[in-house]
Amino acid sequence: MKDANVAAKSVVTSVSRERNAPRPGDAIVDIPFKLIAALLTRLGLFGRDIDYHLIRASMVLIYLMFGYQKWFEYEAQALIPFISNGPLIFWLYPVFGIRGASTFLGASEWLIGALLFIGFWNKRIGILGAIGSCATFVSTVTIIPFMPDGWAPSAGGFPAMVGNVPFLMKDVVLLAVSFYLLKQDLERVLTPRQSPAT
């Protein structure tokens, strides 16, 4: 048994060495890579939590822009096929009407965007924004199976997207991003980071 373990470790070590062994042309690629990495490091682009802050900022921008367009008639009309076929949002039309539903969504999106923005400084409020964002994109992603004529018959149907379905597919990524922000904010609230000793 001991010999088998030693042999297994030997195989893993040799495979690891092969993967990390220099290959022809590595030196040529290595020089610009190191220069780019050094430059980005000096610019602070690898600073603490830069990815987290960029994702938060991009979500704030998305909610600002998408919320803005919902205050106008052209967007209220464009939303009809989405809201009408949404299993979680179809109730907006009976309650608010076509224009009112669009206005309600615009106000909701601005509120979520504001909560995410405040989340830069207050993680508890950021959690509220991330929960609202998750709910938003669960609502839109669940439209996909119910969207009529969403799959191209000429290409054999699913998964060949057509019509409004490709537009909705981006929300799968935005749902994942919202969940990421929720997880990050929860971690920061539940386990605050210690400031480095001076």
Report the pLDDT value the prediction gives residue 93, as an integer from 0 to 100.
97
How far is Cα 36 from Cα 30, in angstroms, rounded to an integer?
10
Give the structural domain span for 14: 1-46
Q: Please check whether residues 27 and 97 belong to one and the same domain.
A: no
Is residue 36 located within the same domain as residue 67?
no
Give tens-digit pLDDT for 130-157.
999 999 999 999 999 998 888 888 888 7
C-beta neighbour count of 134 within 10 angstroms:
19
Domain count within the chain: 2
Task: Record the tokens describing residue 91, joined without a space.
Answer: 């109730």
Which two three-digit tokens encode residue 80?
């009809």
For residue range 46-75, what is the model confidence (pLDDT) as tens digits? 667 888 999 999 999 999 999 999 999 999
- How many residues in total does the chain contain? 198
pLDDT digits (tens, 9 = 90+) for 12-23: 555 555 566 556
In a domain, 195, yes or no: no
Question: For the chain, what is the mean pLDDT?
Answer: 84
Residue 196 lies in a domain: no
Residues 81 and 142 in one domain: yes
pLDDT over 70 for what percent of the chain? 76
Whether residue 62 sits in one domain with residue 144: yes
Predicted TM-score of the model (pTM): 0.74
CB-CB contact of 41 with 160 (8 Å): no
- Asked whether residue 128 falls in the same domain as residue 166, the answer is yes
Query: Same domain, yes or no, for 74 and 154?
Result: yes
